[in-house]
Structure 1
Amino acid sequence: MAIIKNGVNGTVSGKAGSVVFVLTKTGNYVRSLPRVKKREPSPEQLLSRTRFKIVRSHISMLNPIIKIGYKAYSYPKRAYDGAMSYNLNEALMQEGDGFVVDWKKFMVAKGSPNPITSYTMDFDQENGVLQVTWEYDAYLEKKFDTRSYDSFLVLYSAGDNGVEYPLLTNDSKNSLIAGKQDIAIPEHRKEATYEVYIFFVESYGGGNTDSLHLGKINV
């Protein structure tokens, strides 16, 4: 913004549009604003942006789960920021000139060690129910007092393919020591592939375990 001092006959200073008024000892001058050259991003910057965009697309979709699974791990920072930072550093693999997500290393929750030592997944296609059963490490369960933690199954369709239900979780929740958890899967008009994760959450808020990637299922 240009300013006129001492009325219409006074001096002018400041910027107006594409010009700038300059007051010197010898008088008042008008100069064109310098042109700012737009720098093209470097290859490293482009690569960093690509990595960030890939992880952000998944974290944004999983945000309702991330808010639970990273709440304690990220405090006092946002759970979203904690999940972005962790997965940017740990869950990307370079493939050709780009990056892909390593879903085995991708974490939807961070906390104490996940105590599951072995598991099975059985999908009842007729009734649309996935049942997961597991065995757990008794030492870890006692050390971190997770026996009453609620199980949290997460099914995430990572492909951008117009799936009707890209994110599913279980409504009723069994405890860790129950050793099993069901999740209802709505009928799909087209086949969908889900990445399956499980973690355990303290019933009344507070702590949780790491998530564990159980594999993929097609429904």
Structure 2
Amino acid sequence: MAIIKNGVNGSVSGKAGSVVFVLTKAGNYVRSLPRVKKRKPSAGQLLYRTRFKMVRSHIIMLNPIIKLGYKTYSAPKRPYDAAMSYNLKEALIRQDDGFAIDWQKFMIAKGSPNPISSYSIEYDQENQVLEVTWEYDTYLEEKFKTQHYNSFLVLYSAADEGVPFQMLTNDLESTLSSGKQNIKIKKNKNEVTYEMFIFFLESYGEGNTDSLHLGSIKV
């Protein structure tokens, strides 16, 4: 916006349309705005944008969980930023036609080591209830005082089969020491593939374990 000082006979400064008014000791003059040439992004920039967009699409959908799972690990960064940084670096697989998410390395929570040493999964199709049972490393449990941490089971549909993104979490919480956690899976018209994750969270939300990818399930 151009500004006229001291009325119509005064000096003019600022921008108006495609020109800019400049005031100097010698007086006023007008010059055209420089043309900004848009450079085409380099191959490296396009590659980074593709990677960023892919990871970001999942972090956004999982953000309610990310806020819990990265709360302690991320400080002083935002949990979102920490999750983006970690998964961009660790959870992508290069393919001929681009990239894919390596779900085994994708982390929805970062903290102390996940203490689960072995686990099994059973799905009751009639009642649509999935149950995860586990054994845990007592050394890690004692070292990080995680015995009474609550289990957080997350089922995430990555929407790669024409279905909307979905995220399910357990309604009732169990503890690490209980060795099991159930989750109700809502019925869908079409078969859905869920990526399954579990981590353990202190009741006051001040500490948590890493997430562990339990595999995928089609229901």
Against the structure 1 CA distance between its residues 5 and 205, is the aligned structure 2 distance closer, same or farther, given a 3 Å change threshold? Answer: closer
- Secondary structure at the aligned position of 1:127 is classed as coil
Moved more, 11-20 or 197-206: 11-20
Aligned AA for 1:89? K
5 Å-filtered alignment, 1:187-198, equals 187-198=187-198
TM-score, length basis structure 2: 0.93
Against the structure 1 CA distance between its residues 32 and 111, is the aligned structure 2 distance closer, same or farther, given a 3 Å change threshold? Answer: same
Q: Which runs of 5+ in 2 are unaligned?
A: none
Give a deviation string over 1:15-44, Cα, whole Å, max 9, x none: 211112345676643322221111111111
Aligned AA for 1:90? E
State the partner residue of 2:108.
108
State the partner residue of 1:122.
122
Q: CA deviation at 1:142?
A: 0.6
Against the structure 1 CA distance between its residues 170 and 8, is the aligned structure 2 distance closer, same or farther, given a 3 Å change threshold? Answer: same
CA distance in 2, matches of 1:115, 1:40: 48
Against the structure 1 CA distance between its residues 187 and 4, is the aligned structure 2 distance closer, same or farther, given a 3 Å change threshold? Answer: closer
Q: CA deviation at 1:162?
A: 5.3
State the partner residue of 1:136.
136
Identity of counterpart residues, as a percentage?
72
Aligned AA for 1:156? Y
Q: CA deviation at 1:158?
A: 0.8
State the partner residue of 1:186.
186
State the partner residue of 1:71.
71
Against the structure 1 CA distance between its residues 15 and 123, is the aligned structure 2 distance closer, same or farther, given a 3 Å change threshold? Answer: same
- Secondary structure at the aligned position of 1:52 is classed as helix
Q: CA deviation at 1:12?
A: 2.9
Give a deviation string over 1:130-176, Cα, whole Å, max 9, x none: 01111111111111111111111000001244546710000111111
Asked if structure 1 preserves the Cα contact closer than 8 Å seen for 2:117 and 2:136, the reply is yes
Give a deviation string over 1:107-134, Cα, whole Å, max 9, x none: 0100000011111111111110001111
Q: CA deviation at 1:72?
A: 0.8
Aligned pairs, number: 219
Asked if structure 2 preserves the Cα contact closer than 8 Å seen for 1:164 and 1:188, the reply is no
Against the structure 1 CA distance between its residues 22 and 76, is the aligned structure 2 distance closer, same or farther, given a 3 Å change threshold? Answer: closer
Q: CA deviation at 1:13?
A: 3.1
Q: Does 1:211 align with 2:211?
A: yes
TM-score, length basis structure 1: 0.93
CA distance in 2, matches of 1:5, 1:195: 65
Give a deviation string over 1:87-115, Cα, whole Å, max 9, x none: 11110111114111100000010000001
Asked if structure 2 preserves the Cα contact closer than 8 Å seen for 1:119 and 1:132, the reply is yes
Q: Does 1:53 align with 2:43?
A: no
CA distance in 2, matches of 1:190, 1:102: 24
Q: Which runs of 5+ in 1 are unaligned?
A: none
